[in-house]
Structure 1
């Protein structure tokens, strides 16, 4: 089998093949070692002297022709724990063996898909803006051929293909998040989505400012007023040959968030090019559904804008009218994400899906509560939330549920409009208040889940399958949820159609 994956600003180019034995020109052979189990041909005393114990991500290179590389994959485990360990170990391996141009890798157990996926994620670099002179002083881009030492079979080929497709989808999202705000404007994002849709067999519709106004998307229009560039709304559609259920995805797409008139401090601006990570994750997931044989119909809504203090920005005290007629008093111009999400959620609900799932870098409060590795999960339908948590666990992107307490709902009341977008003077529970605000735009009885990925959209340094910069968090969870089969069957989240 042959295959090549190329993503990540041309920084990841890996070809894959299946062989029983290493080829003659292989430079290194990688052998997995389970923690607590012996490594073939090496004594326990020798390994102990080197400090190698088979822990996840440990790499030991032994001289020879070819070089032998021992890769620690942790305890021998099945299920999500074993898959996550192999994915992490493979990501570390990709950085450790970057100089080799051809490797042979023995897959650990039945985790072939996670090996391929993790290797692509760990080898990612965003170097689009490095000059040739700068590239010469940094790590070279990953460009390799890898022979997987396993018999060629339909199952092995499928695992490699799935690993590649998932990895490429995550890298697409990372590329988008890592782009500077000057380059990835709403129009540029929409153009990129159009290209991705064409390649992935998706339908794609792009609304410009005139169409957005005609559709009465007052939240999106209001936020965009402060920017010198126009907003966009992208609608994507995926339809398999046969389907019984349809899911709507909504992704927040603020391509740069300066805070509007509630201008952010300079220290907080550095990561604000990532305020479109929800839209990037949704686009990434949509790009892989066809190749992975997803049996669920999926629509995606991506509201795209900047939040700037130029032009005619919304003022504190202004009242915006969302598409469904709800009026919102703007009490904080930096609570803009929920305003554009409101319009998109109304649009998604009007299409009568079986469930709506949204992703947004919505609140710092979620990051303060859960840190940088766990996303916040809220919603109205326990079966849907349970399925999302299970999918996230399998995908290695943990989510933790937060409540939507009705007792907090009065804090959203306005003296001049239906709602406020922010409760001034309130320091506590602000992630929950943001979730409650979004819930206002979900019709009763329609299953809905909200993922606040503010803390997980970026990472500061290479850490397992994450590489400094955009993480692509949420892509794997959505893909796992939509392709694993649970969402394609009629169940508690709505009737079949």
Structure 2
């Protein structure tokens, strides 16, 4: 990731390869948003250029202008979709515009400056966040990757550079962006190289020297814990499953959060095999595990006074000679037995193991993150996650955190009558039910593995189905490019911050 610098500097004094400015909407036309960093004559020239080019200032519109007086390099004007002067309520629009502007310069500049509105610390920090997020690229497997220009430095020009909230916000933006990028790298890595054991070892290396303890459960340890979900799903692969447990225990923690992440490093569907086109992006089926791991590292690096225990449920779902069959029955860590119906509904099985083990810690809030159902994508599209839970306050807390972080999410009710389709003749439950309401059915199954607190009340739990926004094969917008998005990292960090 590039290094971030917030400087009280005029555009005319900055020598970056390129400058990005924000456009707002004035009727049908675009205008450059006012900021002290831009000289009046520079802004007038840009406004005239935008008018001549027919720019509208709509979100995701980027216009390149060369030969601008008072600017050393090329200028990219990035539309915000905001009418008039941006306010703090427009923080996400600012983030996305900053990210879109940076993405427009991918491979074309090494140093970039942004002269965006500086009406408040929140606006400056949003600019920094969006620029960092938009700078992500994955070139590990490109033969010419080392030769392409990568952005190495981002400068945000603002008279508020020395403001304490700007300084702390910029520092946090760098930490979160770095971890979000690590999560994206994990998701973008081909399954040939990222499988349960290598994933676990990568996590161990990444957390070396941090404040987080790492424990890896191999297949023998999983059997001892009766992790029937991971063991069953992993039976068809020559590469056995793993569970990684991360523990961050700061002194005088104000709350204890537990995260559980789905880590299916590749999903063929098992014996209920997917069609070929359905497998193309299935390296992303571990995006939940990547997100919760990255969020845990960011929380620890920021020193937030919130304890976090995280479970990464890692397996590869293949069709080997010992692959799990429909009709099999497995036993989970909480003693509940499950009849296997569809081997392509494997995610909820490994998550049940993680939720069962996490519940033993009796956290104040239990959150799982998973690319769980196609039903979530059909319901909400590819940019919005769903959140369900057994506790309205917990669900609302996640929605609020996602809103502050700028990640799209929508609350879904946990309709108990949909349980009827999961009744089994031979086990405590089937792991699938009716196709109608499939996203809710999956969440209802997970609910059975959320334990109780010391008083016998169900632990507060929220389930994030990120099947839509975790990975984009075609769509790109704002600071989100094609491939892994790192969805969930920012929401979990924001939630921990709100509890601290």
What's the offset of the Cα at 1:315?
A: 1.3
What's the offset of the Cα at 1:16?
A: 2.3
Among 476, 485, 497, the residue aligned to 1:471: 485
Q: Residues of 2 paired with 1:83 and 1:46: CA distance?
A: 26
What's the offset of the Cα at 1:228?
A: 0.3
1:494 paired residue number:
none
* 3-state SS in 2 of match to 1:454: coil
What is the RMSD computed on CA atoms of the aligned residues? 2.1
1:156 and 2:166 are equivalent in the alignment: yes
Cα 1:261/1:47, change in 2 over 3 Å: closer
* 3-state SS in 2 of match to 1:198: coil
Q: Residues of 1 paired with 2:91 and 2:306: CA distance?
A: 25
2:462 paired residue number:
449
Work out whether residues 112 and 151 of structure 2, in 8 Å CA contact, stay in contact via their aligned partners in 1. no
Q: Residues of 1 paired with 2:14 and 2:340: CA distance?
A: 67
1:430 and 2:450 are equivalent in the alignment: no
Aligned pairs (5 A) from 1:9-408: 13-22=2-11, 23=13, 25-36=15-26, 39=32, 40-41=40-41, 42=44, 47-57=50-60, 58-64=62-68, 65-67=71-73, 69=75, 70-73=77-80, 74-75=82-83, 76-79=85-88, 81-98=89-106, 99-109=108-118, 110=120, 111-132=123-144, 140-146=149-155, 148-150=157-159, 151-408=161-418
* 3-state SS in 2 of match to 1:290: helix
Work out whether residues 197 and 236 of structure 1, in 8 Å CA contact, stay in contact via their aligned partners in 2. no
What's the offset of the Cα at 1:193?
A: 1.2
Work out whether residues 118 and 167 of structure 1, in 8 Å CA contact, stay in contact via their aligned partners in 2. no
Q: Residues of 2 paired with 1:15 and 1:113: CA distance?
A: 11
Cα-to-partner distance string for 1:445-478 (whole Å, 9 max, x where unaligned): 2110001111111112432111111111111111
Q: Residues of 2 paired with 1:193 and 1:231: CA distance?
A: 15
Cα 1:38/1:469, change in 2 over 3 Å: closer
Stretch of structure 1 that moved more, 406-415 or 363-372: 406-415
Cα 1:97/1:161, change in 2 over 3 Å: same
Cα 1:45/1:183, change in 2 over 3 Å: closer
Work out whether residues 59 and 96 of structure 1, in 8 Å CA contact, stay in contact via their aligned partners in 2. no
Aligned pairs (5 A) from 1:476-495: 476-483=490-497, 485=498, 487-488=499-500
Work out whether residues 15 and 73 of structure 2, in 8 Å CA contact, stay in contact via their aligned partners in 1. no
Aligned length: 469
Q: Residues of 1 paired with 2:156 and 2:176: CA distance?
A: 19
TM-score (norm 1): 0.89
Cα-to-partner distance string for 1:114-135 (whole Å, 9 max, x where unaligned): 2222112222211111112x77
* 3-state SS in 2 of match to 1:34: strand
Work out whether residues 228 and 311 of structure 1, in 8 Å CA contact, stay in contact via their aligned partners in 2. no
2:37 paired residue number:
none
Work out whether residues 124 and 156 of structure 2, in 8 Å CA contact, stay in contact via their aligned partners in 1. no
Cα 1:108/1:195, change in 2 over 3 Å: farther
Stretch of structure 1 that moved more, 184-193 or 155-164: 155-164
Q: Residues of 2 paired with 1:26 and 1:192: CA distance?
A: 35
Cα 1:24/1:465, change in 2 over 3 Å: closer
Q: Which runs of 4+ in 1 moved over 4 A?
A: 43-46
Stretch of structure 1 that moved more, 439-448 or 222-231: 439-448
Q: Residues of 2 paired with 1:16 and 1:310: CA distance?
A: 51
Cα 1:457/1:28, change in 2 over 3 Å: closer
The gaps in structure 2 that reach 5 residues or longer are 33-39, 452-456
Cα 1:332/1:62, change in 2 over 3 Å: same
TM-score (norm 2): 0.88
Cα-to-partner distance string for 1:203-256 (whole Å, 9 max, x where unaligned): 111111111111111111111111101111001112223213101110011111
Cα-to-partner distance string for 1:50-108 (whole Å, 9 max, x where unaligned): 223433343342414514624433333434x4111111111111123342333432232
The gaps in structure 1 that reach 5 residues or longer are 1-5, 7-12, 489-497
What's the offset of the Cα at 1:291?
A: 3.0
Stretch of structure 1 that moved more, 154-163 or 388-397: 154-163
2:454 paired residue number:
none
Work out whether residues 165 and 291 of structure 1, in 8 Å CA contact, stay in contact via their aligned partners in 2. yes
Q: Residues of 2 paired with 1:476 and 1:203: CA distance?
A: 22
Cα 1:291/1:112, change in 2 over 3 Å: farther
Q: Residues of 2 paired with 1:27 and 1:172: CA distance?
A: 26
* 3-state SS in 2 of match to 1:128: coil
What's the offset of the Cα at 1:15?
A: 4.6
Q: Residues of 1 paired with 2:305 and 2:258: CA distance?
A: 14
